[in-house]
Amino acid sequence: MGYSFRTSPTAIFAALIALICLVCALFAPWIAPHNPFDLATLQLDNARLPPAWSVGGKSEYFLGTDDQGRDILSALMYGARISLAVGLASVVLSLLVGVSMGLLAGFLGGWIDGLLMRLCDVMLSFPAILVALLIAGVGRALFPNAHESLAFGVLIVSISLTGWVQYARTVRGSTMVERNKEYVQAARVTGVAPLRIMRKHVLPNVLGPVLVLATIQVATAIITEATLSFLGVGAPPTSPSLGTLIRVGNDYLFSGEWWITIFPGAMLVLIALSVNLLGDWLRDALNPRLR
């Protein structure tokens, strides 16, 4: 795998970009030139400054400022931090739910399998964004005066509840193959409990495709989060993700302040594209037939 990585320029390039984004996100409070949420440092005469290289730009605000005088570059780093955190959390949650459901369905079969797979069919027949929106809406109705942390909880749950289906299907397929292999039979004969067989014996053998899927789902989750935030039902304006930044900047598009919305958009595409390319490479690298 190391060899395949070193010989693939696309993978190296994608990994490099993903790494830069990750570092920016992780260490935003320390490497960002300004703190966009510190109201004391904001000055209104610095509002809506263009990027440093165009006329009227200041070098201290490299990518310009937004309507409240916040530095776009710093807001990007903090926004990417929130986008990545929500994206990763939802992938982990949907992975846990999906893999357990898939293992149960594939290993036990019978009516559990039937029920779970019909549920998957119904979920898959609707676009993910619609399901996520619906769950977000229900969350809003249930907790009308939602606290900020609760808003993120609803956001993560709504994204992961649309994502688990893919894992469940993949894992169910591979589990049904593994179930009949000799090592599982041997474990059964020696009296290992079914749950333990699933966890200790079947699970490690079905994780390959799940890993590929999870990588690609990180990109999907980040884009879903951005879409929900753009539509106004995602991350609150007080702790903006990339989608919220785009939503806010969209209002200033017509007065010519394109940088407020285009830079967060570009950052989003960079993250999604690099993660997708990494996922593609991982799929090929893990596929023994292509090696």
Partner 1 sequence: MFAFIVRRLAQAALVMVTVALISFMLFQYVGDPVVFLLGQDATQEQIRELRQALGLDQPFIVQFWHFLANAARGEFGFSLRQGTQVSALIAERFPATLELALVAGFLALAVGIPMGVYAALRRGSFLSQVFMTLSLLGVSLPTFLIGILLILVFAVTLGWFPSFGRGDVVKIGWWTSGLLTAKGWHHIVLPAVTLAIFQLTLIMRLVRAEMLEVLRTDYIKFARARGLTTRAVHFGHALKNTLVPVMTITGLQLGGLIAFAIITETVFQWPGMGLLFIQAVTFADIPVMAAYLCLIALIFVVINLIVDLLYFAVDPRLRAGKSGGH
What residues line the site for partner 1 (CB under 8 A)? 122, 125-127, 129-130, 133-134, 136-138, 140-142, 144, 219, 223, 226-227, 230-233, 246, 250, 253-254, 256, 258, 261-262, 265, 268-269, 272-273, 276
Structure tokens at 118: 């019909």
Q: For the chain, how long is the longest CA-to-CA vector?
A: 77
Q: Give, in order, the Cα–Cα distances in Å from 217 to each of 183, 184, 206, 223, 241.
A: 31, 30, 17, 10, 18
Which CB atom, from 16 or from 269, has the smaller least distance to partner 1?
269
65 - beta bridge partners? 71
Among 119, 38, 122, CA closest to 78 = 38
CB of 242 to partner 1, least distance (A): 10
CB of 265 to partner 1, least distance (A): 5
For 37, list phi and psi in degrees, rounded to 5: -100, 0
Which CB atom, from 38 or from 121, has the smaller least distance to partner 1?
121
- Which of helix, strand or coil describes residue 275? helix
φ/ψ bin of 3: left (φ > 0), alpha (ψ from -120 to 50), beta (otherwise): alpha
Which CB atom, from 43 or from 250, has the smaller least distance to partner 1?
250
Structure tokens at 38: 């510190």
CB of 46 to partner 1, least distance (A): 23
Structure tokens at 108: 């036990």
Sign of CA dihedral 35, 37, 43, 44: positive
Which CB atom, from 91 or from 154, has the smaller least distance to partner 1?
154
Residue 233: how many CA atoms within 13 Å on its side-chain side?
Answer: 24
Which CB atom, from 36 or from 234, has the smaller least distance to partner 1?
234
CB of 123 to partner 1, least distance (A): 11
Q: For residues 8 and 21, give the distance between their C-alpha atoms in angstroms, rounded to a whole number.
A: 20
Which CB atom, from 83 or from 174, has the smaller least distance to partner 1?
83
CB of 94 to partner 1, least distance (A): 19
Which CB atom, from 32 or from 131, has the smaller least distance to partner 1?
131
Contact predicate 168/98, CB 8 Å: yes
CB of 230 to partner 1, least distance (A): 5
Structure tokens at 258: 């394109």
CB of 279 to partner 1, least distance (A): 12
Q: Which amino acid is at 80?
A: A
